[in-house]
Structure 1
């Protein structure tokens, strides 16, 4: 909430991957994002299930969230941290990660966590907060077991539950703390923990209905009495990496999708229950579903359920001796997100762009654009390129993503406006490489120079407009000339990108002459230079007074239509706007109303 608190928040965030620092507007404006309504912001985060660390008085969090508290088993962790970092207090979600988070933050700040949960204090462990790789099947019973332990009762504990071995135990105890991949059923005296030890192998025809595969997976697990929460990964052949049905099955189970090449699956042939020559001829291995499941659980694992079929899909389940590390299984589908940063100032970037950068493992782009990311690029692998190497950048980003990495290809402005989107998709279409085609590609829009310039000066693009690049490096000048003539004849507001460069000095003068033949010399022209950067300057001149010699490559020009107007501001500057016709509409409405009133009066008199 304050400048001092922002420093502590930054310190905490450095130790929490993916953390975003939100600051109160006017007090902590250089946070990752700002808010003005504290209560609304906290409630929105809480409703979205996002863990909240408030570097503020605990009372602020209590008053904000008290009215929206519901099921404690569904609430995210909420912690209060003193501005000086000396106190870390988990307020909500103690057994949903808040206690563990408090200890982690306290280690970072070299302070003490104020954990107050009874079972944590008595035994140093929470029954309903198992470690990574485990899931508690029936958390509602944890409270009963904890109460019994606190009153002196003992429990029976399976050896696999290593983190609970310090609890009081007895062979004939009433409660059983069990480790199992099977659903608990009616085991009322058991607290069942599922190890993420199952791998669900799947195969399907191209374009299989996702609902068919997800239903087959559910039915297969249910048939064997296996818990969905015990699934560590959904696995398949790498040619299925871009198959929506496979990813839908993974989302349904809350597990990642992982993939193997045909050679790895073929190595599992001796362990297959239902090898198929037809499958071998088609994809190069004797079994996809069984082979992938067995490859995932390793040599010590076993096939728990042989291949089951539906009309267009297959499913098999294998079990490992203990929890699996999904990150070490096969290869994930890589992603490549083309991110538009906007003009340059971080506050003019979108939250979606910031999130895309945060989740990326690798950043690819022109060095200047990567530098604009500042601290956000920390901990990520940079791949720097020079200006003009657009296709090389796109190809390198796709190569990295094809290896299973999460890549952000960075550009300024909006990727689709004279930026990286076009060369990227041209490259994909021309090369048509199988490994690139399996990559999950996404484009995140950004604020373009056109939009930023317009916002700075008023509303010059309030009516129809077009954008034209004056660079003839890739587009012949006669084609650019025809577009300028069409825009001039059509009376569009024209945004000119790439107006000049060191080698291209005459094109802007030509464009000025073409537009001047169709509109008056006093037509307003907005000159926007270095938008979103410390050197930013936005000025207004006229079409007649525009001096091409004073324009450079870091400038975008907005040349008004015949209806565009410049008006004086109180501070001596100018606004520029292009009316859409509301004044005429207002006049027509007023005239119609006056006529209607006159008619009504006449009728009354008659």
Structure 2
């Protein structure tokens, strides 16, 4: 029962089932707990794209599911866990159904051991048949071709890849050393391609980035089947894959068009609506006075597609009208825009991750789980170095320099807008002098329908680590102050130092001193001595959680400024703080009552 409650609380499961007559049914502590026979449960939920987690013996699970197993293309992902959550095992659907990746997420969240037996997992290869999902792409091609490709990869044969669209960051991974990447998409060189990545419709193993925008105009109450047929014909005429659709674009007067809304929902194509005023300002090749009189803009399909495509878009099909058959209703106008950069913010995820002070043991399970989800890790090189041992071979590492924070955040956001799952990594906690604030500002500047999922994952800050190593310095009111005046004027920092001193706060000092900023710390100590005794304890905690960790305790009067740098954090006590047996304590006042 505790494990079931953990799974539900972590939102890893949507529904929990127990066998009829189970002892758990007597407790019924979990809201929505459903009793069912295993056979009835499997009949209802044995379907493609489901992920089923079984708690118990792997042998019992094998016997239970064996009558339902059909093929790797249609069976769900099956995971097995023991009741103590020590192991998470992928039994079926490790690749196509995402079982291996989901098992890694579960194991990270539950601090369990993940057990996957697939060739790509054990040999640390890039799983060609499922890696594209993390980049926001959709898989095409016949299942038999994918089986041949994966067998070829397992035999370490040379695989030929052509990529015309989507991020090529993955090509730099070590696991790509056995691939041959073509630069040209011509009939001669493409005859022997094993894997195609682009928006064209190919009869081979393919990944399709979302780079085609469908501009739509239609008569009122046009049937869904008419709209679908018009889209299919437009794509076929241009040799494009339906799996490359980024989204639909139209006028906001169509926001209640039932056929259009149903089609969008069924295919998971987002619809972007624009006002007549917005559309009327777009230059189009074939404006219409009839449309202008009825809609208030001379173009709907072309203008909407061009507007959504922006600078990355190119009109590749001017509007074409498709009519309904005799037993159908309505007519549809279709225009196509090709994007040079994929656009799928509804698929993208931007995870702000605090990696802790440095030691992997200080990485929270929530952050570790988020890292397993992400195909791209972006951060300052030393921070990425601390995490590199848990990075999978299919996860891209993107190193950044220290002073390029804005560029780093914008790059991460742009990737997420393409549909990529991205981890933007800070040390400590990303919400404390980390990347979360800047990334959130940039995210808020985006239009609402252009925003990927944004999630901040808590980390252990260096001041928390320092407190744990020192004893209990923050048992009373405290604050943190950064002495970096690169983004905050010094006079403002000085006012905060004085306020903290007057308020008798214990203070954590971040960014105390650098090569270029060598006077601020001395000024801070001088200000504090105006309000606090020179014997007030001060701790220097340096490189916490790393091999060269050191902690020294001094006073305001004896603080050695030459031993402080940007790898240090200072803890400055208040009027009650004391050092006893080399422990830093700020009493809460329990023994004074």
Q: TM-score, normalised by structure 2?
A: 0.51
Give the 3-state SS of the residue equivalent to 2:391 in structure 1. Answer: helix
Q: Give 1:496 deviation, angstroms.
A: 0.5
Q: Shift of residue 577 of structure 1? A: 3.1
| Residues 492 and 97 of structure 1: CA distance in aligned 2, closer, same or farther (over 3 Å) | closer
1:541 and 2:554 matched:
yes
Which blocks of at least 5 consecutive residues in structure 1 are unaligned? 1-36, 52-61, 112-130, 134-200, 205-215, 225-230, 309-313, 319-328, 588-606
Whether contact under 8 Å (2:324, 2:331) holds in the other structure is: no
CA deviation digits over 1:232-265, x for unaligned, max 9?
A: 999422999xx9xx9x999986946477999xx9
Paired with 2:56 and 2:120, the residues of 1 have a C-alpha distance of 10
Q: How does 1:379-394 map to 2 (within 5 A)?
A: 379-394=394-409
Structure 2 distance, partners of 1:38, 1:402, is 35
1:344 Cα deviation after fit: 2.2
Q: 1:48 aligns with which of 2, 10, 13?
A: 13
Structure 2 equivalent of residue 397 of structure 1: 412
Task: Give the drift of 1:389.
Answer: 1.1
Match of 2:152 in 1: none
Find the partner of 1:496 among 503, 509, 512.
509
1:332 aligned onto 2:344 = yes
Residues 389-416 of structure 1, C-alpha deviations (whole Å, 9 max, x = no match): 1122122223333434333222112223
For residue 479 of structure 1, report the CA deviation from its aligned partner: 2.9
The Cα shift of 1:545 comes to 3.0
Pick from 244, 249, 254 the counterpart of residue 237 of structure 1: 249
Q: What TM-score, normalized to structure 1?
A: 0.50
Distance of aligned partners of 1:419 and 1:331 in 2 relative to their CA distance in 1, 3 Å threshold = closer
Deviation at 1:559, TM superposition (A): 0.7
Greater RCO (CA < 8 Å, at least 6 residues apart): 2
- Alpha-carbon distance between aligned partners in 2 of 1:280 and 1:352, rounded to the nearest angstrom: 49
| Structure with bigger gyration radius | 1
CA deviation profile, 1:163-216 (whole Å, cap 9, x unmatched) = xxxxxxxxxxxxxxxxxxxxxxxxxxxxxxxxxxxxxx9999xxxxxxxxxxx9
User: In 1, distance between residues paired with 2:296 and 2:376?
Assistant: 36
1:467 is paired with a residue whose SS is: strand
Q: In structure 1, what is the Cα distance between the partners aligned to 2:121 and 2:419?
A: 37
1:234–1:250: 8 Å Cα contact kept in structure 2? no
Offset, 1:538: 3.4
After TM superposition, give the deviation of residue 280 of structure 1 in Å: 4.9
Given the alignment of the two structures, is residue 470 of structure 1 paired with residue 483 of structure 2, yes or no? yes
Equivalent of 1:373, from 381, 387, 390?
387
Contact 1:525 1:543 in 2 (8 A): yes
- 8 Å contact from structure 2 (residues 378, 424) kept in 1: yes
Counterpart Cα distance in 1 of 2:408 and 2:468: 31
Output the CA distance in 2 between the equivalents of 1:46 and 1:366.
Answer: 31
Q: CA deviation at 1:81?
A: 11
Distance apart, 1:422 and its partner CA = 3.6
For 1:388, what is the secondary structure of its paired residue? coil
SS of 1:540's partner is strand
> Unaligned 5+ residue runs, structure 2?
17-21, 28-33, 70-74, 79-90, 97-115, 123-138, 142-213, 228-241, 310-314, 335-340
Task: Quickly say closer, same or farther: Cα 1:42–1:354, change in 2 above 3 A.
Answer: closer
The 2-side partners of 1:452 and 1:46 are apart by 29
Would the aligned equivalents of 1:522 and 1:542 in 2 still touch at CA under 8 Å? yes
Structure 2 equivalent of residue 108 of structure 1:
119
Decide which of 512, 520, 526 is 1:513's aligned counterpart.
Answer: 526
Please tell me whether the aligned partners of residues 78 and 91 of structure 1 are also in contact (alpha carbons under 8 angstroms).
no
Once residues 361 and 239 of structure 1 are traced to their aligned partners in structure 2, the CA distance between those partners, rounded to angstroms, is: 35
- Equivalent positions of 1:35-434 (< 5 A) are 48=13, 70=36, 71-72=41-42, 73-74=44-45, 77-78=52-53, 89=62, 96-98=76-78, 100-101=92-93, 108=119, 235-237=247-249, 255=268, 257=270, 278=295, 280-281=297-298, 285=302, 331-333=343-345, 334-374=348-388, 375-376=390-391, 378-425=393-440
